[in-house]
Chains A and B, each alone.
Chain A
Amino acid sequence: MTLAHRIVPCLDTDGARVVKGVHFERLRDAGDPVGLAVRYNAEGADELVVLDIAAARDNRPTFLETIRRVAEQLAIPLTAGGGIRSLEDARAVVRAGADKVTVNTAAVERPALLGELSREFGAQAVVLAIDAKRENQGWQVRIRGGRAATQWNAEDWARRGVEMGAGEILLTSVDRDGTQSGFDLALTAVISRSVSVPVIASGGAKLPQHFLDVFTEGAADAALASSIFHDQVQSIRALKEFLQSSGVAVRLPC
């Protein structure tokens, strides 16, 4: 009886369609979110993340409709985010069927948002997304899709975010994102050991070994990837079988 390490596919959308690119650039269409959600649900994904990476105001109703259509098909938890700036934004996403909401830039600009969300939905529904970039001896927190620098060091911000009400951290390595060269293990381990909440590692996944490394050396509780699952480079079931045979607790459907 052990808590399983989670495999979390992520759908980056422009509101309506799944898109992909490196560092939010050179976006191209990667499919219908509902079709992918159905496939991941059946393949044994432990959870699904759906992000609106455009996060444009006028596009909001489209994104909410996407969440509704995806939620309709899922029997696993759904996390949604991108462009959530207020309690009201979060309510709309939860009402559309998300179990958890993720916040990033808005939380850096106004950390009290985390407390507001946590009081309304419970800390288990509040995911703080942190984009971290290696800088000198540590990692700096970046916002606005990784483009803008902040004064925060990733460790301090993660701890502060948890104090303010975050119940989970979605940690993306800006350096590794889109490179398929493996997760940033040092970053993941540092953050995972400095907070009391679960950490989802993101950025750089390709090989099954990358996942094994991030669960062992990186001390991650969950690992997220997008394009390797969308493009069927890696099947979730085969990945989980590899992890189980390597001694990592995972959920294989019985």
Chain B
Amino acid sequence: MTVTLIDYGAGNITSVWRALRRLGAKVECADRPEEIVAASCLVLPGVGHCGALISSLDARGLREPLLEAISRGTPFLGICLGLQALYDSSDEAPRFAGLGLLKGRVTQLPPHVKLPHMGWNQLLVLRASRLLDGISPEAYFYFAHSYAAPAGGCETAATCEHGREFTAVLENKSAFGVQFHPEKSGAPGAKLLENFLRLAV
């Protein structure tokens, strides 16, 4: 099983790489369009600023190949900003168009709670998702973000709440996204990544 980890040059991908390797996956880092097209399974990690993510993807010509791979049914997992990038736009970087696979706008969490939403939180599971198979509904996952996707869409499989409800796990055909960091979320995080790898076989 080879996972293609999209390395857009603006985020730290080491921990995702390490977590996938620990599960026995072969991991290749990629930043060229032809590598995305040829991938059998894609992971887009995201740490940092949404504008940096989108502009780095565009500068490398990865937007079209990525959307094309997803529409062909290549299993895709977006982590943190990698989830947010799937929507139309983000208030964190209003000048950049998101990938637009999903309708809606990523907005900042409300200011009456401490931001970033940093630490371990639980999910409210709305519907069965293959990503969450075998994971306790009580499990905690590690979050570190200030912006979040809307909760109302039919892609939302689980939400979390910090000031407001937001999408924490999404599933749209072969495209998946998680707002938290499974690579830093202990045993439940490893189980989630393992579920994703199993889907991709």
Contact A122 B49 (CB under 8 A): yes
Contact A75 B185 (CB under 8 A): yes
Interface readout for B64-104 with A: 1 if CB under 8 Å, 0 if not?
Answer: 00000000000000000000000000000000000000000
Question: Known pairs A77-B184, A121-B12, A168-B118. 8 more at Cβ < 8 A?
Answer: A4-B140, A75-B186, A95-B14, A99-B47, A168-B116, A197-B115, A221-B119, A222-B119
**Interface check B121, CB cutoff 8 A:** yes
Interface readout for A162-192 with B: 1 if CB under 8 Å, 0 if not?
Answer: 0000011000000000000000000000000
Contact A71 B18 (CB under 8 A): yes
Instruction: State the CA gap A124–B184 with chains docked (Å).
Output: 14
Contact B187 A120 (CB under 8 A): no
**Interface check A251, CB cutoff 8 A:** yes
Instruction: State the CA gap A121–B49 with chains docked (Å).
Output: 7
Chain B's interface size range is: 35 or more
Contact A97 B186 (CB under 8 A): no
Chain B residues closer than 8 Å to A196, beta-carbon distance: 111, 114-115
**Interface check A119, CB cutoff 8 A:** yes
**Interface check A2, CB cutoff 8 A:** yes
Nearest CB of chain B from residue A50's CB, rounded to whole Å: 15
**Interface check B19, CB cutoff 8 A:** yes
**Interface check B63, CB cutoff 8 A:** no
Contact B118 A198 (CB under 8 A): yes
Q: Give 8 nearest A-B pairs by CB, closest first.
A: A124-B144, A251-B140, A124-B116, A122-B48, A251-B120, A254-B136, A4-B120, A1-B122
Chain B residues closer than 8 Å to A121, beta-carbon distance: 12, 47-48
- Which A residues are within 8 Å of any B CB, using their own CB? 1-6, 41, 46-47, 71-72, 74-77, 94-95, 97, 99, 119-125, 167-168, 196-198, 221-222, 251, 253-254
Nearest-neighbor residue (CB-CB) of A125 within chain B: B47
Contact A253 B186 (CB under 8 A): yes
Contact B119 A198 (CB under 8 A): yes
Contact B114 A197 (CB under 8 A): yes
Chain B residues closer than 8 Å to A221, beta-carbon distance: 114, 118-119
Interface readout for B128-146 with A: 1 if CB under 8 Å, 0 if not?
Answer: 0000000010111011111
Contact A197 B140 (CB under 8 A): no
Contact B146 A123 (CB under 8 A): yes
Interface centre among A122, A197, A251, A254 (most CB of B within 10 A): A122
Contact A123 B116 (CB under 8 A): yes
Contact B142 A77 (CB under 8 A): yes
Nearest CB of chain B from residue A247's CB, rounded to whole Å: 16
Interface readout for B31-67 with A: 1 if CB under 8 Å, 0 if not?
Answer: 0000000000000000111000000000000000000
